[in-house]
A and B are shown apart, each in its own frame.
Chain A
Amino acid sequence: MYVAVKGGEEAIGNAHKLLAAQRRGDPAVPEIEIEQIGGQLSRAVARVMAEASLYAPREAALAVKQAQGDLIEAVFLLRASRAAWPRFGYSEALDADKMQIKRRISGVWKDLPGGQILGPTFDYSHRLLDASLAEKKEPAQTPTAEPGRERTEAGETEIVFDCPKAMRALSRQGLIEEEPAVAREPLDLTREPLDFPAGRDLRLQNLARADEGFLLSLAYSSQRGFGSVHPFVSELRLGTVKVEIIPPELGFPLAIGEIEITECETVNQFHGGGALKPCFTRGYGLVFGCNERKALSMAIVDRALRAKEFGEEIKGPAQDEEFVMQHSDNIEAAGFVEHIKLPHYVDFQAELSMLKSLRENYRQGGGRDE
């Protein structure tokens, strides 16, 4: 007669077994290897690294595999590991000017120093399913390239280093605002509790690890009129940059590796007028890996969040620091939304007795049952 509502060890154990079987899929099909995920699903891996705030391609690929392709779950796996690893120190600021460029475009200059480099992009592909990808093919021979040049299927091209930023064309003429001054040593979002007003250092960190979908919609809402950002893309670049640290016992920078990043700089409408010389304003986006959608969204939302700084009217959520920063993290959001799956017997019981007592009051006060 007693209904067993309380689960236990056995149920959890079985759930884990079922999950493992679901992850593995049909055992007659070879198991997917994390090298395949890293190499052939690189954009999924990039997204996981960006939102986990951890540049670790192998671990991110493992997370994608373990999460059965659920990227938010994969981000979560990587974040949780990251949180338990010791922090040795901070790198020097990345120098994106010295990027080894794979792709670089500008939406404001038709031609510019260094040129436009289309690189790998979906932008001009026709979105037609390619049935030939469903067939097994022998791998093409890995081409080797001359020193200083890169060989791809597209042929051999020169590797571009040290390409000046497109923004320089505007800054040299004073048409764009000065880089906002750095008011303090940047705080670390993952080591300090969030406090408001947060400041641009923390905002950018928050946006860089924000959920891509959330950021995309915010940017979109701002462009559509809930906010007032009408950006031009000064430059969008993709490539690898060196990461340098200064070991205390050496005192000079040492490259410890390189990472792939996507960087976006936008030019936005004017600030100034009256006594203030009018100039364009900046928005900035930076993301791990190849992810232009997110870099663009970030640059738009960054600019929208500077509304207060420029004395602009707050018209939409994308301009509201607290709204954006408190809801951008998909691990926090997913946790809270999904926690309603957990039992709430006690609270529900409390609500039930409350409702019964309200009903009783209603009846005693002359209310009628329909």
Chain B
Amino acid sequence: MNRRPEGNLYNFAYLDENTKRMIRRAILKAVAVPGHQTPFSSREMPMPYGWGTGGIQVTAAVIGPDDTLKVIDQGSDDTTNAVSIRGFFAKTAGVAVSARTEEASIIQTRHRIPETPLREGQIMVYQVPLPEPLRQLEPRETETRTLHGLNEYGLMHVKLYEDIAKHGQIAASYDYPVMVNDRYIMSPSPIPRFDNPKLDHSPALQLFGAGREKRIYAIPPYTKVKSLDFEDYPFTVQSWNERCAICGAENSYLDELVIDDQGGRLFVCSDSDFCRKRAEAGPKGASRA
């Protein structure tokens, strides 16, 4: 079957079919063992490592001609890298693209989970720089694989305890480690811990791709995902005293904008689609700007 869109030098969604098959096998294994990092033979992509090559390969392996793709970076569809990745798939796969969370069947993301709740049938694809949650505690892959294999997570608990002893709280603000399905400690990618609760029992399939480190892992729909904490120091998320200056949202993740050099600040939603939808529905908090 010729899967090349008309006039295109490359296969549908860029990767050749053998590579896609290899990635799909890794994804199936990852889904079967939630939170476990499955090695895969990552390819060089036309974007550099660190730009989302893992996510791009996962998306290329799961995308079909009928999909609608949304790509966000820092919560926004308009960030340069999101524009570039969306353009890449629009060109190589000819698929429909959308900025609307509810319209998308595949959402590739860097650093955020949309504020709009996900639904069944959607696939979240996360770009992951460092898939190993224990890496900062143990630099050797041989060691960390063994620790995961033996369910030996003492290192991590000691680290969290030391944070509390030193800072009075667990001092991880993003890439906050989670326990998946009561078995594997997993890096949720550098999403703010604000987004961690959205991982838990999500109706969407969540796939994580780390290109440079050659790992894929997954959270199947409706899987238990618990952010690590202690009984007397329960997990909490970020909150703001401010509201979004555009849509007035009080419960979304906010970006802080520097508006002058006299210390002027403005807060707006990081999720641009969520913000736009709310702003279109009616002016609520814009007057605060």
Contact = CB atoms under 8 A, between A and B. Distances in A.
A234 B203 CA distance: 64
A6 B79 contact: yes
Contacts of B51: 335, 339, 342
B169 interface: yes
Nearest to B38: A193
B41 A8 contact: no
Given A9-B83, A196-B141, A347-B174, A339 B50 contact: yes
B41 to A, nearest CB: 5
Contact of A7 (B19, B41, B79, B215): B79
B53 interface: yes
A331 B53 CA distance: 12
B59 interface: no
B79 A343 contact: yes
A351 B171 CA distance: 9
B74 interface: yes
Interface string A175-194: 00000000000000011111
Given A196-B141, A350-B174, A344 B129 contact: no
Given A335-B51, A343-B73, A322 B45 contact: no
Nearest to B170: A354
A334 B11 CA distance: 27
B78 interface: yes
Given A335-B212, A343-B73, A347-B111, A86 B256 contact: no
Contacts of A350: 173-174, 192-194, 238
Interface residues of A, number: 52
Interface in A1-28: 1-3, 5-9, 11-12
Q: Which among A79, A343, A349 has the greatest number of chain B C-beta atoms within 10 A? A: A349
A354 B173 contact: yes
Nearest to A361: B168
Interface residues of B, number: 69
Contacts of B73: 342-343
Contacts of B39: 193-195
A191 B257 contact: no
Contact of B192 (A9, A192, A347): A347
Nearest to B81: A342
Contacts of B190: 344, 346-347
B238 A6 contact: no
Interface in B161-197: 167-169, 171, 173-175, 190-194
A162 interface: no
Nearest to A15: B80
Given A336-B49, A336-B212, A322 B141 contact: yes
Interface string A253-265: 0000000000000
Contacts, number: 155
Nearest to A3: B257
A8 B49 contact: no
Contacts of B111: 344, 346-347
Contacts of B192: 346-347, 349-350
B79 to A, nearest CB: 6
A339 B129 contact: yes
Contacts of B89: none
Given A86-B18, A350-B193, A353-B238, A8 B83 contact: yes
A80 B39 CA distance: 20
A335 B169 contact: no
B152 interface: no
Interface string B108-132: 0011100000000000000001000
B150 interface: no
A334 B212 CA distance: 11
Contacts of A361: 167-169
Interface in A309-338: 322, 326, 331-332, 334-338
Given A5-B257, A344-B74, 6 more contacts: A1-B259, A7-B80, A83-B19, A349-B253, A353-B238, A357-B169
26 contacts: A1-B289, A2-B266, A2-B289, A5-B255, A5-B257, A7-B78, A194-B39, A196-B141, A332-B212, A336-B212, A342-B50, A342-B51, A342-B81, A343-B73, A343-B74, A344-B190, A345-B255, A346-B190, A346-B270, A347-B175, A349-B254, A350-B192, A350-B193, A354-B171, A358-B167, A361-B167
The 3 closest A-B pairs by CB, nearest first: A339-B50, A335-B49, A193-B39
